[in-house]
A and B are shown apart, each in its own frame.
Chain A
Amino acid sequence: MVRKKILMRTRATAVLTAAVLTASACGSGGGAKPGADVTLVAYTGQSSDYQVNFNPYTSNIGGIGTIFEPLFFFNVLRAEPPQPRLGTAYSWNADGTQLSITLRDGVKWSDGERFTAQDVLFTLDMLTKHKESNSVGYNGTATAPDDTHVVIKFAQPSFVTAPNILGRIYIVPEHKWKAIANPATDPVSAPVGTGPFTLAEFKPQAFTYAANPGYWGGAPAVKKVRFLALSGNQSGQQALQAGQTDWQTGPVPDIKDIEKNYAGYQATIVPLNQIVLDTCSNTALGCTGPQTDPAVRRAIYYGLNRTQINTLAFENTASEISPGFALLHRDDAVISTRLPERTAPMQPDVGKAQQQLESAGYAKGADGVYAKNGKPLSLTVTVVSGWSDYITTLNTMTQQLKQVGIKLTAQQLSWNEWTQQRQNGRFQLILDSLNQGPAPDPYYLYSYFFATGTTAKVGTRAPQNWSRFSDPEVDRALAGLTRTDPKDTAARQPYLDTIQTRIEQAMPYVPVLTQGTVTEYHASKFTGWPTPDDLYAVPAVWQAPDNAEVMKRLKPTGK
């Protein structure tokens, strides 16, 4: 009797499941004509409802690249010249104080008005007038000799500002925006742009782009793109599992078997941010602790087993790192030949690590931990609680450095607290990552994280150079790079050599690995995704304006 009941129930469930499966199969494929009206569904990690804001200077939800275009597109993944968008060519004068830009002719705003140099002038002047919008640090004076040319003059050599001005200023229409009272705080709920997409509809749970039929480069093949709001990475993974999203960035379990676990999906991993141990390195600015000794930092550097960390914490999605912080592959041409090691050793060298410590006056104690002047070599590392891959990294490191004779103590902090600690410099070590700049050029990373100008005393907020590193030679080399035309690679190289060798010797950030950003996408529904062979843009769904480049290239397969 009981068995019969169970059997019946199982059968009923099976029938129901089959019915649901057929129903959903019909829903997704049956109704739509191949290729027509297929919606690309993207999830950026947005963790609560959207509030409307398509102002390209304040928006964190969209509009950048998709609706409002820059003059050029800089691909940070490949050492190549920028691609023309609203601009077609640009050139610097010899000393880098005058930038001449030629604009594309025949471009129309999505409301039918003509795009001219006046729109570019209006945008640039708006940034000068409204400092709140000027997130790229534009400080030039622009003029337009005719409808397709713009000339920007600067007070000092400004070669390095080109990627920000050409690639990160999004041109807005003068005829619409001149009526806006305060362009910095306006949410621009009905955006008019030149980009490949227009805003079709906005709801708190999702907003939808439609292909712009009048786009100067031809209307994109994907007619609709919807961005969803879910509740974070966990729900994002559920949606991916159910096939409800087509494009998402973030780690998923068992990434190497993605095609088996998620039918029709593939993943692209791009090395982008560099994982490091930030060290509060500079006693002159108030840092205290054993990590202020370069020998300790270098001992950690040699004591790490990077292969093991990669396997245990990152499912082998991370990759090698150069101790001079040039991004491997992309920056291969500029990696200094004067570096003792081109890449950080993937295997630990305990002997070399201990030798660093011993030559700095440390001696091994009875408990196996090194000590100097009676003080054991014990360091506290902080990490954001909930960042499981970083926490695993830290636990692995603690074990590895124990072999060397260095004691690490991991401390998990809330995101807010961690950010504050990093800013104030009240830390010994922080597991962190360094981000790239707006162009495929290591200069930007150096200027953010290694310059005296971006640091501050311990106790006051440093804009970006958390390690408090300050070196006159590096500062001089960075200043030299701002005066050198980026095209003149021979003239740039000595500066880049200096920076790389200096930061390798001082090691204010201990290089760990280059983190892989993992993006999953529905390859059976759309073709044209960026792959390792053709990284035409950063594939990450939240990376703007790169995501607009991807959306523009995709083609529905009709399946």
Chain B
Amino acid sequence: MRYYLRKLAFYLVALWAAVTLNFLIPRMLPGNPVDILMAKLQQRGGSPDPATRRAYELLLGTDTHESLVHQYLGYLGNMATGEFGISVSDFPTPVSTVIATSLPWTMALVGLATLISVLVGTVLGVVAGWRRGGWLDSLVPATTVLAAVPYFWLALLLVAVFGAALGWFPLLGGYDVTLNPGWDGPFLRSALYYGVLPATTIVISSAGGWLLGTRNMMVSVAAEDYVLTARAKGLRNSRIMIFYAARNAVLPTVAGFAISLGFVVAGSIVTEQVFAYPGIGSKLLQAVQSNDYALMQGIFLIITVTVLGANLLVDLLYGLVDPRIRTSG
């Protein structure tokens, strides 16, 4: 029990620290939303004049002279009640609405892709590590190369080949814009179809990491005494591989997976840029580029909470799975 209480206390302090940084960091960015909006209007051939600036300052309420402490207290109160404010770059939409419309896309795409990548990588890693020196093992360097290739380059390459040259998959977007988003057959099919290429790039570029990690763990676990004992008992090879070696070898992978689940929410900004995919990553980019404090804080908070949540979950599960940690930690 003490173990769990200590963990919870630690996460509460971590959450407070993260929320506070989340308040301070955006305010250290140079520029302010109105200036950036004006500069954008000007760049776009609009003709912002001094009156336009005054109107926007009033509209966005950026001309307040509240003290930083005062703002901070108000911010803490708003965070507690889930009141994230109004997005400046998507004026006048509330931040919660902006996040709600973009988060599901990222979670579905990056979440599924991460799951597939972990499963594929781990299974291949287990087999490669067990049959050391086999043909699969000799493929390990190739997957490492794929993981080392700059992600955007791989993505652009796949777009050029399968999207532009062969035309098998759509180039851009998250769904066919002539369809109405909803839980119906044609729309889901279209969303799935549009998701194949982005998901494939994530799997290709990340599976190598999981594969290598699992394979190396398998190799060291295979040298353990209990594996030798199992062999001596004359158990089936596949049984030893799965229940004796792999079960211990995938422990770090489980931890890594939980942490990467936290990052699923952060999205993959590059994926969303290359494929013009409608997710939280592109919204975060937009927020940073427009000094949209409210939207930035909203997105960062969601990311922080999920990363912390995922870590907490792993900690608790670990205590359950591995009694050694509970007592010695």
Contacts and interface: CB of A to CB of B under 8 A. Distances in A.
9 contacts: A20-B166, A24-B167, A52-B93, A53-B90, A133-B59, A205-B177, A230-B276, A415-B36, A540-B44
A205 B52 CA distance: 28
Contacts of B49: 136-137, 164, 437, 444, 447-448, 464
Interface stretch (B205-213, B227-235, B278-286, B306-314): B278-286
Contact of B52 (A135, A187, A239): A135
A557 interface: no
Nearest to B181: A203
Given A203-B180, A420-B30, A464-B50, A49 B278 contact: yes
Contacts of A423: 31, 35
A239 B278 contact: no
Contact of A435 (B30, B45, B97, B181): B45
Interface in B150-197: 159, 164-168, 171-175, 177, 180-181
Given A53-B92, A58-B59, A206-B177, A231 B272 contact: yes
A310 B45 CA distance: 20
Given A133-B55, A238-B172, A53 B93 contact: yes
A235 B273 CA distance: 8
Contacts of A463: 50, 53
A380 interface: no
Contacts of B289: 415-416
Contacts of B165: 17
B279 to A, nearest CB: 9
Contacts of B87: 51
B38 to A, nearest CB: 8
Given A48-B285, A135-B56, A242-B164, A419 B45 contact: no
Contacts, number: 187
B321 interface: no
Contacts of A415: 31, 36, 39, 289
Interface of B: 29-32, 35-36, 39, 42-56, 58-59, 86-87, 90-93, 97-98, 101-102, 159, 164-168, 171-175, 177, 180-181, 272-278, 282-283, 285-286, 289, 291
Is the interface on chain A under 10, 10 to 19, 20 to 34, or 35 or more residues?
35 or more
- Identify the interface centre among A20, A186, A205, A540: most chain B CB within 10 Å of its CB: A205
Nearest to A133: B55
Contacts of B283: 48-49
- Nearest first, the 7 closest Cβ-Cβ pairs linking A and B are A137-B51, A416-B31, A132-B59, A206-B177, A51-B90, A231-B276, A48-B282
A517 B45 contact: yes
A272 B46 CA distance: 11
Contact of B45 (A136, A226, A447, A538): A538
A239 to B, nearest CB: 6
A244 interface: yes
A419 B48 CA distance: 15
A417 B97 CA distance: 29
A137 B36 contact: no
B291 to A, nearest CB: 6
A187 B92 contact: yes
Nearest to B284: A48
B45 A47 contact: no
A433 B43 CA distance: 8
Contacts of A346: none
